[in-house]
Amino acid sequence: MKTITKEEINIFQENGALVVRNAIPKELIEKLFKNLEDEYVLQTSLKGGFEDIVIFLNKTNPEKLYKIHTSTSRREIFLSIEKELSSIFLQLLDSDFYDLVANQAGYLLGLPRDKRLVYNWHQECNYMKSVRPIITAQYPINTNTNPNNGAMSFLSKSSSLGELKYNKQYKENANGYTSLVPVEIDKIKTDFQEEQPSLSIGDCLFFDEYCIHKSNFNSSNHLRTTGIFRVTSQKSARSFVPYKDEDL
């Protein structure tokens, strides 16, 4: 299992985010990707690779894609990756205990040239109001992430602002995301530097619940798939039920 240095912990505490290179063995990512691909083939009976099936479903049957995505966002599918990152979770939480928020792991589909599945600037704390602290980990699954395919951006050191009031930016359709955009975000963007790190397979980006961040438009012609964990040292968080849009 990977661990990080005291210097890296200090960087995380100062910036609200940290990139750890080679945090996950590539063979574990490859195995995870194969398991996801097998699930999509099994549930659709379609031929072709993971990317082809996802893009085809997005065009022809987005409801089916949503159902398969939901059914494959199970903790057991991602358990080998979770175990590999578990020591870092404990280090960043400064705790001898962690659990996944709502007992869930999952992944984000960054569909090529699709604006629906893009989050505007937001903080995780506003989506999970009853859970503290929260450490989020994101890592590429099927391809390296970079500015061209919509790698995540964050405002370095913005965690120092704490929990912010927000304006709700409603999703444009049923398959989109609702963004909780911090009030006066334009001013905040001038006060904090935007970072958009590129991640290779095996790298992992960690950030805290107050770090202002967003996903970005995938301007490439290929799918970007990103694994995600949200962990906490709060022992009641396993039973957390995600809020509905109308309750945010």
Q: Distance (Å, rounded) from C-alpha 150 to C-alpha 224?
A: 8
pLDDT in tens, 116-168: 778 899 999 999 999 999 999 999 999 999 999 999 999 999 999 999 999 99
Q: Which domains does the chain have, with CATH numbers?
A: 8-235 (2.60.120.620)
Query: What is the pTM (predicted TM-score) of this model?
Result: 0.95
Length of the chain: 248
| Per-residue model confidence as pLDDT tens digits over 202-220 | 999 999 999 999 999 999 9
Q: Could you tell me the CA-to-CA distances from 220 to 143, 146, 224 in Å, in that order?
A: 12, 10, 9
Q: How many CB atoms lie within 10 A of CB 26?
A: 11
Residues 6+ away with beta carbon under 8 Å from 103: 75, 238, 239
Choose among 29, 16, 8, 55: nearest CA to 199. Answer: 29
Over residues 51-95, the pLDDT tens digits come to: 999 999 999 999 999 999 999 999 999 999 999 999 999 999 999
Judged against a pLDDT cut of 70, whether residue 247 lies above it is answered with no
* Two structure tokens written together for 113: 């040239």
Q: Alpha-carbon distance 189 to 29, whole Å?
A: 34
